[in-house]
């Protein structure tokens, strides 16, 4: 018997221990784990097994979960899926996912007793309560907030996700959002020109058309068009690498616009949700461009809200590595009562 299987068998044998599968699914990657916790205790989540999948390598989310559960050795009857998209009657609507997702069909195909669906960034918002700030990077504001109130989680990946964690009595409420679908509001002359260019192909330009992996490609293409150049880079990683290594001036300009726009949007969301207790930046892109982000116009644009600048200067903004936070957050959400009311979980958001 493998060490991992032995650990799982030991956990399963302990009275009062709940074991289930937790998944964090974005447009590019799916992170899946077997987790255990004291029954009903959202703060006791332990990750036993973890694997990261490339979504495009599998024909469905069901196939990913079946592969993972087969390797985990069985004995799992329930689970929670944090998924990018917007769910209606258990079906997820999201153009960033490579395949359709139905929570009911998945549950039946996998033979699970219960499977619950949650917004992917709502899950991250639950997960940030487990974060040690020593493992984060402070981008703006004081090391600790001096006020209590909502905490904002934002992150660009295949799309743009956001959620707000709001104190409510002795607990918290997490509000999922569709922030990525809000209209792109330019804040500079260059961004106005980019918007004009993008509007030639679409009437509504959502902000995630610029603040996401595909959005960085759109930005680079728009800047090339405005500068009369032919785009030579096709992938987000190629653009960010060329920008950080100084190989391509247009890529550098595109990434600078990306970071500045990110700061402006995050500042807007802080104002919208009055998230003065802090901001956590997650997602798959920002940790990869950390050094560039720290020396970009992100902070200046974040603070550039006129008379509200003194308020924003007091808001800690931290960059976190996504890692396992999504599966831990999905598990925490599930343990908080969702497992007893899986059918009521009808919301999901973009990443």
Burial tier of 70 (Cβ tally within 10 Å: 0-12, 13-18, 19+) = exposed
Residues with pLDDT less than 70, the chain: 1-15, 95, 322, 337-351
For 236-240, the CB contacts below 8 A with 24+ separation are 236/285, 237/288, 240/216, 240/285, 240/288, 240/289, 240/292
Give the residue among 129, 121, 130, 189 at the shortest CA–CA distance from 156: 121
CB burial of 175-196 (b: ≥16 within 10 Å; e: otherwise) equals bbbbbbbbebebbeebbeebbe
User: Is the distance from CB of 116 to CB of 126 less than 8 angstroms?
Assistant: no
Which pLDDT belongs to residue 10? 42
Q: Where are the beta strands (DSSP E) in the chain?
A: 17-25, 29-38, 46-54, 78-83, 86-88, 91-93, 101-102, 114-119, 137-140, 151-156, 160-168, 171-176, 279-281, 317-319
DSSP per-residue codes, 314-329: TS-EEE---TTHHHHH
Which pLDDT belongs to residue 337? 64
Which pLDDT belongs to residue 91? 79
Is residue 290 helix, strand or coil? Answer: helix
> How large is the angle between the packed helices 249-273 and 213-226, nearest 10 degrees?
130
Domains of the chain and CATH, by start: 3-126+324-344 (3.30.420.40), 133-319 (3.40.367.20)
The residue written with tokens 């970071």 in the block is: 259
pLDDT, one tens digit per residue, over 274-329 is: 999 999 999 889 999 999 999 999 999 999 999 999 999 999 999 998 688 999 99
Which pLDDT belongs to residue 43? 72
- Alpha carbon of 157 to those of 29, 213, 338: distances in Å? 10, 6, 26
Task: Cite the DSSP H helix spans in 175-248.
Answer: 189-198, 213-226, 236-245
Tokens of 35: 């987790």
Give the residue among 83, 93, 96, 80 at the shortest CA–CA distance from 35: 80
Tokens of 150: 């909502």
Report how far residue 44's alpha carbon sits from residue 41's, in angstroms, rounded to the nearest whole number.
6
What is the CB neighbour count within 10 angstroms for residue 204? 10
pLDDT, one tens digit per residue, over 205-233 is: 999 999 999 999 999 999 999 999 999 99
Which pLDDT belongs to residue 14? 61
Tokens of 101: 């997702």
Report how far residue 35's alpha carbon sits from residue 17's, in angstroms, rounded to the nearest whole number.
10
Rounded to the nearest 10°, the torsion over CA 210, 212, 217, 218 is -20
């Amino acid at each position: 018997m493998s060490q991992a299987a032995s650990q799982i068998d030991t956990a399963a044998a302990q009275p009062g221990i709940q074991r289930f599968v937790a998944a964090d699914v974005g447009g590019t990657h799916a992170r899946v784990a077997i987790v255990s916790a004291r029954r009903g205790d959202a703060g006791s989540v332990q990750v036993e097994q973890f694997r990261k999948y490339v979504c495009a390598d599998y024909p469905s989310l069901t196939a990913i979960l079946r592969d993972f559960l087969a390797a985990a050795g069985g004995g799992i009857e329930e689970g929670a899926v944090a998924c990018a998209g917007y769910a209606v009657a258990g079906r997820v609507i999201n153009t960033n996912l490579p395949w359709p997702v139905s929570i009911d069909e998945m549950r039946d195909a996998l033979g699970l007793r219960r499977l619950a669906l949650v917004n992917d960034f709502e899950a991250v918002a639950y997960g940030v309560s487990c974060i040690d700030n020593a493992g984060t990077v402070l981008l703006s504001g004081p090391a600790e907030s001096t006020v209590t109130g909502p905490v904002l989680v934002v992150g660009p990946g295949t799309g743009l996700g956001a959620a707000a964690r709001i104190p409510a009595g002795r607990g918290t409420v997490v509000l999922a959002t569709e922030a990525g679908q809000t209209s792109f509001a330019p804040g500079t002359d260059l961004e106005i020109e980019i918007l004009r260019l993008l509007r030639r192909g679409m009437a509504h330009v959502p902000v995630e058309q610029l603040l996401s992996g595909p959005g960085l490609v759109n930005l680079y293409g728009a800047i090339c068009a405005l500068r009369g150049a032919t785009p030579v880079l096709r992938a987000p990683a190629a653009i960010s690498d060329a920008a950080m290594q100084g190989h391509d001036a247009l890529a550098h300009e595109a990434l600078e616009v990306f970071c500045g726009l990110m700061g402006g949007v995050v500042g807007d969301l802080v104002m919208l949700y009055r998230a003065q207790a802090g901001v956590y930046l997650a997602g798959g892109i920002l940790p990869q461009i950390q050094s560039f982000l720290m020396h970009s116009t992100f902070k200046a644009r974040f603070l550039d809200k006129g008379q509200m600048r003194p308020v924003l200067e007091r808001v800690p903004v931290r960059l976190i590595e996504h890692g396992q936070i999504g599966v831990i957050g999905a598990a925490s959400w599930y343990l908080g009562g969702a497992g007893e009311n899986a059918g009521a979980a009808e919301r999901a958001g973009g990443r």
